[in-house]
Amino acid sequence: MLYLKLIWVFFQIGLLSFGGGYAVLPMIDRLIVQELGWMTPQQFIDVLTISEMTPGPIAINAATFVGNQLLGVPGGIVATLGIVLPSMIIVILLAYFFFKFQEVNLVQDVVASMSPAVVALIASAGLTIILTAFFGTTSFPVVLADFNVISFIIFVISLGLLRKYEINPIRIIIGSGIAGFIIFSFIV
């Protein structure tokens, strides 16, 4: 029965989340962490970190990891199928209609009007990750005493390296992981 629930949850996520990888994260967080309690907020952040380090789209990787954590390899396959199936169906249908009607102004206007909503979804996902990384919570209000200065310093250094030197994100993640391990294991 859990397999059916797993594929249904990820089918909904795949069906109702627009904007690609990071835009799907708020819905995964709401369903998997907040409503179903299949993961803690920290486990979700860990899944996102691992998903970012592995090849492929983050949403598919996250679905695979969640399914695998719940039901092993078969759960990973079921969750992956659930999140991919709606996109396959929708893309086939949209491609057909888009290429048939791409010169129609209404079609162009609808596509352009979706951009601000996608930006909002990505910003929401970013805020959730920031709150978890720096305060250990996923929602407001935050307690300033819970602010993790070390995580913030690692964030600022990582962001600076990414923006100024365009270092490969995988190297940044591995370096941050090593720095965090050393700092939290031996210094703090």
What confidence tens digit (pLDDT) does each residue in 62-99 have? 899 899 989 999 999 999 999 999 989 988 998 898 88
Residues whose CB is less than 8 angstroms from the CB of residue 51 and which lie 6 or more positions away in sequence, other chains included: 58, 61, 62, 65
Whether pTM > 0.85 for this model: the answer is no
List the chain domain ranges: 1-101, 105-187
In the structure, what pLDDT confidence band is assigned to residue 50 with cuts at 50, 70 and 90?
confident
CB 79 within 8 A of CB 10: yes
